[in-house]
Chains A and B, each alone.
Chain A
Amino acid sequence: MKKRICALLLTTAMAVSALAGCGSGGGGSTATTGAENAAKETTAASAGKNEMSVEGDDVTTLNVWTFIELHQQFYVDMAEKWNAENPDKKVKLVLSNMAYDDMHNKLSLALESGEGAPDIVDIELGKFPAFMTGNIGLMDLTNAMKPYESTVVQSRVGIYSKDGKSYGFPTHVGTTVAFYNDELLKEADVDYTTIKTWDDFKEAGVKYHEATGKTFACIETSAQWMINLMLAQKGGDYLDAEGNLDITNDKMVEVLTYIKEMQDTGAFATVPGGQPDNEEAYPFYNSGDYAVQIMPFWQTSRYTNYMTDLEGKVAIAAVPSFEGSVVETIGGGGTGTAVVASGEHAELAAEVMAFIKLSEEASNEIWNVLGFDPVNTAVWTDTNLTQNPDNQYIKYFINYPFDVLNEVKDHIGLLQSCTDEKAPSINNEFCNVTLNSIYEDGMDIKEALEQSQDTLSNEFR
């Protein structure tokens, strides 16, 4: 009997240790551990869950996915206002924040498989066209947008539309503006208010570089804010009129050549991280190594958060233009909030989100909380808001940000190609290969463009 118990114990011990061995045998294969780590990371990233507490019985729960945590608070604030105004249609938002790529990839898989999609989701402009192909899983929001039609910048609704149907509520205009570090420029005797054209810009840049030895502005290698702006001003694009790929066109070459010439003078240089809106680039601006940024308006929040040493030194101005520019400036970047068509409460979700994103209250909040230029231009002229001395953004910059916005308000264009389903691939190729080849490796512009044209044509055939 005793022997039996002993044997049993031994076997149990062996079994347990064998199982324990399974658990800790992480070194067995590199691939397994890699996958495990990836899984862990996903859990950590999706931990940013936030649930609204709403009282009452007849409350509809809506799941919301975001990729910028700041948006969560804004949605909750606005949903509370909605509930106060519409006690019969109360909603409770359950918000999950995930990393940028992660969220878009999850959404893509959820729509593909028809399972696990949220009711409402933030989709970034660069990713939007990818969801406009094949069977569109997003809801047509045209009707929900009707009440706000007259006050919203239409070009921003257009970028989330296909075949006349709108699929996303815009968040901001993202007017591209110039941020000048006035303190640095004054030292070199450069007056930013006299810069009106790209020739002036060049002249100022060279003068600044000669006086200080430092860099005037950065060359983008992982974004196309400035390139898109100049291209749109020239009336160019990445696609021809028929929508065929055409990145070797003359206007594109002119734009890239302008930047290349600036690089040759030393006034422009590439920046770590490849663009001004990058964690590696902020310190270089903050310490005054670079003086100017040509960026969409939402860069304001990066200044207040990451470049705090520049408070009271930076001025916002209209961007330079070419002679006979087609548009003065363009909207850059953006987040379109979409409603998943198969959702149980899609109709209500659309109605609520229209209020949360497009109403006048929403626009006030978007400026106050997020520092974006709201799509509802009715508030752009409300001086209580745009000159509020307590606002952190107004305190930070030397001039009133909205003065510049109102100047260009009626001339904000866009590149047609940004709504095309080819756009994500073109952007990917430019930010990975084309711009790096030209500005980091010194490849000939025409040659680099032709090479990328080849690569992309192969993908689109």
Chain B
Amino acid sequence: MKKLFYSQKLAPYVFIFPFVITVLVFWIAPIGNGVLLSFQDVLKDRWVGFDNYSRLLTDKIFFKAVWNSIKYMVGTLILLIPFPMLFATLLNNKMLKGAGFFKSIYFLPALTSVVVGGTIFRLMFGESSFSLFNQVIGFFGKSPIKWLKGANTTYFALLLLACWRWTGVNILYFLAGLQNISTDLYEAASIDGASKWQQFRKISLPLLKPTTVYVLTISIYAGLSMFLESTMLFKGNNSPNNIGLTIVGYLYRQGVEKRAMGYACAVGIILLIIVMMVNVLQLKLTGTFKKEEK
């Protein structure tokens, strides 16, 4: 008994046991159940084979939702990785006065609820000529726009909301990464006559890679699973011509609003597959799967 208790072989498994249980009960089991449900018509309680999937393949609204989600994800990647990285580098500079102040300012929106933020954004992008953004463009002599009725203007509104909210969080990630880089490297480089830009390119960027890969991974997932932002912007899951519909929004519409749970599970499985594919590809390309070089 004592031997078992002090067994060095067993100890690691004991320690990871709670985690394994959590994963099994809260992740693997629901996913397995979801796969099974995706082959059923839950309301009529019967198996339908691949019907849900074949319906998905001809469902234009589903493709629109996928397209919207991917477009949003790409937009957030383009805006929410380089800019926060740049801001973090600026904040990391010892010359900057009041770094703490700027950090809090950027981080503040992340503490605001999306519900509140989305509602305010909806009002700012209102159709009437008195709404904030129509006032702004009115200042430049443009006539009011129906912001939330056009695909491009909606895309702009969603990206603006995302930037407003997540820039600060990503800055913190990059800042943490930057502070892990030893100042010796920069000193040595500046003695050798490297410019600030060269220091950023040759020291900061490569050494930030683990952080960047992490931010990239969660951003891909977060972009593809976006739901609440668009729901708040349109005060519900419905938008003109489905311009604000995302994959998760479509899953919600089918599963909860239309009670087609089986079909919604099929949508969920497809979302899982897309996220997995994109992320695995991305992690492969960035070399995260390779063994660390010795």
| A positions within 8 Å CB-CB of B | 26-27, 29-31, 33-34, 37-38, 40-41, 101, 104-105, 108-109, 112, 130, 133-134, 221-222, 272-274, 280, 283-284, 424-425, 428, 431-433, 436-437, 440-441, 454-455, 458-459, 461
Chain B 219-238 per-residue mask, 1 if CB under 8 angstroms from chain A, else 0: 10110011110000000111
In the bound complex, do residue B222 and residue A431 qualify as a contact, i.e. CB atoms below 8 Å apart?
A: no
19 example contacts (A-B, Cβ-Cβ < 8 A) are as follows: A29-B221, A30-B226, A31-B221, A33-B114, A41-B113, A41-B115, A101-B236, A101-B257, A104-B257, A108-B257, A112-B259, A130-B259, A134-B44, A273-B127, A436-B149, A436-B241, A437-B241, A440-B149, A458-B55
| B positions within 8 Å CB-CB of A | 42-45, 55, 58-61, 107, 110-111, 113-115, 126-128, 146, 149, 166, 169, 172, 218-219, 221-222, 225-228, 236-242, 253, 256-259, 261
Q: Which of A109, A112, A130 contacts B258 (CB 8 A)?
A: A130
Instruction: Give Cα A130 to B260, complex, Å.
Output: 10
Q: Which of B45, B113, B222, B237 contacts A40 (CB 8 A)?
A: B113
Within the complex, the shortest CB–CB distance from A86 to chain B, in Å, comes to: 36
Q: Which of A29, A134, A272, A461 contacts B55 (CB 8 A)?
A: A461
In the bound complex, do residue B259 and residue A108 qualify as a contact, i.e. CB atoms below 8 Å apart?
A: yes
In the bound complex, do residue B259 and residue A432 qualify as a contact, i.e. CB atoms below 8 Å apart?
A: no
Interface centre among B58, B225, B242, B257 (most CB of A within 10 A): B257
Contacts of A428 in B (CB 8 A): 238, 253
Name B168's closest neighbour in chain A (CB-CB). Answer: A27
Within the complex, the shortest CB–CB distance from A215 to chain B, in Å, comes to: 14
Whether A30 contacts B240 in the complex (CB less than 8 A), given A101-B257, A130-B259, comes out as: no
Name A36's closest neighbour in chain B (CB-CB). Answer: B113
Instruction: Give Cα A257 to B210, complex, Å.
Output: 60
Within the complex, the shortest CB–CB distance from A408 to chain B, in Å, comes to: 32
In the bound complex, do residue B169 and residue A27 qualify as a contact, i.e. CB atoms below 8 Å apart?
A: yes
Whether A455 contacts B60 in the complex (CB less than 8 A), given A41-B115, A272-B127, comes out as: yes
In the bound complex, do residue B259 and residue A221 qualify as a contact, i.e. CB atoms below 8 Å apart?
A: no
Within the complex, the shortest CB–CB distance from A306 to chain B, in Å, comes to: 15
In the bound complex, do residue A432 and residue B44 qualify as a contact, i.e. CB atoms below 8 Å apart?
A: no
Contacts of B43 in A (CB 8 A): 133-134
In the bound complex, do residue B242 and residue A433 qualify as a contact, i.e. CB atoms below 8 Å apart?
A: yes
Contacts of A133 in B (CB 8 A): 43, 259
Instruction: Give Cα A424 to B258, complex, Å.
Output: 8
In the bound complex, do residue A441 and residue B259 qualify as a contact, i.e. CB atoms below 8 Å apart?
A: no
Instruction: Give Cα A440 to B151, complex, Å.
Output: 12
In the bound complex, do residue B166 and residue A30 qualify as a contact, i.e. CB atoms below 8 Å apart?
A: yes
Within the complex, the shortest CB–CB distance from A456 to chain B, in Å, comes to: 10
In the bound complex, do residue A433 and residue B222 qualify as a contact, i.e. CB atoms below 8 Å apart?
A: no
What 5 pairs across the A-B complex have the smallest Cβ distances? A30-B222, A272-B127, A27-B169, A436-B240, A134-B43
In the bound complex, do residue A440 and residue B60 qualify as a contact, i.e. CB atoms below 8 Å apart?
A: no
Name B239's closest neighbour in chain A (CB-CB). Answer: A432
Instruction: Give Cα A109 to B43, complex, Å.
Output: 11
In the bound complex, do residue A112 and residue B128 qualify as a contact, i.e. CB atoms below 8 Å apart?
A: no
In the bound complex, do residue B256 and residue A109 qualify as a contact, i.e. CB atoms below 8 Å apart?
A: yes
Name B149's closest neighbour in chain A (CB-CB). Answer: A440
Within the complex, the shortest CB–CB distance from A342 to chain B, in Å, comes to: 17
Within the complex, the shortest CB–CB distance from B241 to chain A, in Å, comes to: 5
Contacts of A108 in B (CB 8 A): 256-257, 259
Contacts of A425 in B (CB 8 A): 258
Name A434's closest neighbour in chain B (CB-CB). Answer: B241
In the bound complex, do residue A34 and residue B227 qualify as a contact, i.e. CB atoms below 8 Å apart?
A: yes
Instruction: Give Cα A101 to B43, complex, Å.
Output: 20
Contacts of B107 in A (CB 8 A): 27
Whether A458 contacts B258 in the complex (CB less than 8 A), given A31-B222, A31-B225, A34-B228, comes out as: no
Instruction: Give Cα A356 to B223, complex, Å.
Output: 49
Contacts of A101 in B (CB 8 A): 236-237, 257
Contacts of A283 in B (CB 8 A): 128
In the bound complex, do residue A280 and residue B114 qualify as a contact, i.e. CB atoms below 8 Å apart?
A: no
Within the complex, the shortest CB–CB distance from A398 to chain B, in Å, comes to: 28
Name A221's closest neighbour in chain B (CB-CB). Answer: B240
Instruction: Give Cα A41 to B113, complex, Å.
Output: 9
Name B235's closest neighbour in chain A (CB-CB). Answer: A279
Instruction: Give Cα A437 to B241, complex, Å.
Output: 7
Name A273's closest neighbour in chain B (CB-CB). Answer: B127
Instruction: Give Cα A30 to B55, complex, Å.
Output: 31
In the bound complex, do residue B240 and residue A272 qualify as a contact, i.e. CB atoms below 8 Å apart?
A: no
Q: Name 10 extra pairs, CB < 8 A, besides A41-B115, A112-B261, A433-B242.
A: A30-B222, A37-B228, A109-B256, A222-B238, A274-B240, A280-B126, A432-B240, A432-B242, A440-B149, A458-B58
Contacts of A40 in B (CB 8 A): 113, 115
Within the complex, the shortest CB–CB distance from B119 to chain A, in Å, comes to: 10
Contacts of B239 in A (CB 8 A): 432
In the bound complex, do residue B222 and residue A29 qualify as a contact, i.e. CB atoms below 8 Å apart?
A: yes
Contacts of A280 in B (CB 8 A): 126-128
In the bound complex, do residue A272 and residue B256 qualify as a contact, i.e. CB atoms below 8 Å apart?
A: no
In the bound complex, do residue A455 and residue B113 qualify as a contact, i.e. CB atoms below 8 Å apart?
A: no
Q: Which of B42, B60, B127 contacts A454 (CB 8 A)?
A: B60
Instruction: Give Cα A418 to B222, complex, Å.
Output: 38
Contacts of B237 in A (CB 8 A): 101
Instruction: Give Cα A34 to B58, complex, Å.
Output: 30
Contacts of B219 in A (CB 8 A): 30
Contacts of B257 in A (CB 8 A): 101, 104-105, 108, 424
Name A44's closest neighbour in chain B (CB-CB). Answer: B115
Instruction: Give Cα A265 to B30, complex, Å.
Output: 57
Within the complex, the shortest CB–CB distance from B264 to chain A, in Å, comes to: 12
Name A127's closest neighbour in chain B (CB-CB). Answer: B257
Name B44's closest neighbour in chain A (CB-CB). Answer: A134
Whether A38 contacts B221 in the complex (CB less than 8 A), given A33-B114, A101-B257, A133-B43, comes out as: no
In the bound complex, do residue A440 and residue B146 qualify as a contact, i.e. CB atoms below 8 Å apart?
A: yes
Instruction: Give Cα A424 to B128, complex, Å.
Output: 30
In the bound complex, do residue B241 and residue A458 qualify as a contact, i.e. CB atoms below 8 Å apart?
A: no
Within the complex, the shortest CB–CB distance from A382 to chain B, in Å, comes to: 39
Whether A26 contacts B111 in the complex (CB less than 8 A), given A101-B257, A272-B126, A425-B258, comes out as: yes
